């Protein structure tokens, strides 16, 4: 937090979450922004907007997060959210192979149509369902965090209908033995290899246990160039993905900063 040049300035970073319905996008955001998890989320309608700060050694990155709806009927809205985004988190569910295919389609679309320097992270969520490899063993459905689902400052409220894919039953994973990995449909190696080819950051994570969630956002933050008005985006970050995009609430919709100051930020 030391900064020789005076007060630490926050770099604003527009980040969009994309992925098939029910893979856990909103849950990852909820974990990141308020360190909470809800077993009974409602599908996002339209998109939700939240902010959260991430403190790095020498600067603060303020994420302006657009959590999009995964249902197919909302697909056409996505460009509105990824336009000018500096970062994207493309989520799939490691217990559902088809969701990786959908994630790949999102990556393609981003690489064709989003900011050319966008930092993209591929995230295989629901790691808790498959094994103890995350340090969080398969857990039976425990305490539904009965907080109000109002974590999201929704652009439009959530609702269940239509093509909402019901979440995979998180029931049988409690078998206790090491047979739990049978739920896994996407191997880490396969996804990792794809991520390398496509030049993506890659994490397996669990919104439920919190495994790798703050690491994910921290890594993204590190890959965002420090954009000061005086110097252009300089060489920074790790993976060769750079971004000089301007961010900020696009389209004038600013639904607040409800998550600021809550626990569970990335740093
Ligand atoms: N076991 C487990 N369940 C999860 C995890 N993340 C999300 N879920 C559950 O998966 C279901 C869908 O989660 P959401 O966060 O609403 O999924 P989404 O991707 O935002 O869905 P849409 O808004 O419809 O696109 C909910 O029942 C969550 O509780 C996780 O890491 N582990
Ligand atoms: Mg959602």
Q: What is the pLDDT of residues 147-178, one digit of tens each?
A: 333 343 444 434 434 444 444 444 333 333 44
Please tell me the predicted confidence (pLDDT) of residue 182.
82
Nearest-ligand number for the alpha carbon of 77: 1
Mean pLDDT estimate for the chain:
76
Per the DSSP assignment, residues forming a β-bridge with 122 are 90, 202
What are residue 57's phi and psi, to 5 degrees? -55, -45
Please tell me the predicted confidence (pLDDT) of residue 153.
42
With the most atoms of ligand 1 within 8 angstroms of its CB, the residue from 27, 142, 149, 208 to mutate is 27
Please tell me the predicted confidence (pLDDT) of residue 5.
55
As assigned by CATH, the class of the 10-137+167-233 domain is: alpha beta
Please tell me the predicted confidence (pLDDT) of residue 223.
96
Q: How far apart are CA 70 and CA 99, in angstroms?
A: 11
Please tell me the predicted confidence (pLDDT) of residue 114.
98
Any idea where the domains of the chain sit in the sequence?
A: 10-137+167-233
Per the DSSP assignment, residues forming a β-bridge with 13 are 63
Written as six digits, the tokens of 66 are 């657009």
Please tell me the predicted confidence (pLDDT) of residue 266.
58
Which residues line ligand 1 at a C-beta cut-off of 6 Å?
Answer: 19, 21-27, 38-39, 41, 43-44, 69-71, 125-126, 128-129, 164, 167, 170, 206-208
For the cut 90, the answer to whether the pLDDT of residue 189 exceeds it is yes
Scanning the chain, the segments in alpha helix (DSSP H) are: 25-34, 78-82, 97-113, 188-197, 213-223
Q: How far apart are CA 111 and CA 114, in angstroms?
A: 6
Number of H helices, E strands in the chain: 5, 7
Please tell me the predicted confidence (pLDDT) of residue 10.
87
Q: What is the pLDDT of residues 29-40, one digit of tens each?
A: 999 999 999 999
Cβ distance 59 to 95 under 8 Å? no
Q: How far apart are CA 20 and CA 43, in angstroms?
A: 11
Largest CA distance in the chain: 57
């Amino acid at each position: 937090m030391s900064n020789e040049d005076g007060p630490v300035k926050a770099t604003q970073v527009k980040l969009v979450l994309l992925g098939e319905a029910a893979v856990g996008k909103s849950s990852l955001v909820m974990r990141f922004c308020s360190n909470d998890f809800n077993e009974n989320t409602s599908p996002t309608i339209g998109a939700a907007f939240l902010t959260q700060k991430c403190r790095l050694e020498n600067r603060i990155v303020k994420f302006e997060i657009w959590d999009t709806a995964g249902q197919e009927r909302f697909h056409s809205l996505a460009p509105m959210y990824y336009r000018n985004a500096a970062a994207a988190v493309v989520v799939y569910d490691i217990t559902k192979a088809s969701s990786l295919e959908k994630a790949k389609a999102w990556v393609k679309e981003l690489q064709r149509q989003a900011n050319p320097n966008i930092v993209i992270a591929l995230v295989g969520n629901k790691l808790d369902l498959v094994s103890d490899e995350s340090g969080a063993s398969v857990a039976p459905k425990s305490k539904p965090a009965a907080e109000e689902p109002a974590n999201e400052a929704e652009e439009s409220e959530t609702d269940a209908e239509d093509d909402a894919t019901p979440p995979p039953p998180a029931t049988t994973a409690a078998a206790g033995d090491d047979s739990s990995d049978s739920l896994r449909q996407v191997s880490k190696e396969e996804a990792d290899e794809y991520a390398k080819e496509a030049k993506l950051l890659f994490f397996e994570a669990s919104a439920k246990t919190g495994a790798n969630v703050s690491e994910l956002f921290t890594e993204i933050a590190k890959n965002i160039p420090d954009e000061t008005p005086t110097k252009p985006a300089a060489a920074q970050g790790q993976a060769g993905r750079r971004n000089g995009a301007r961010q900020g609430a696009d389209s004038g919709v600013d639904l607040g900063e409800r998550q600021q100051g809550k626990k569970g930020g990335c740093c």
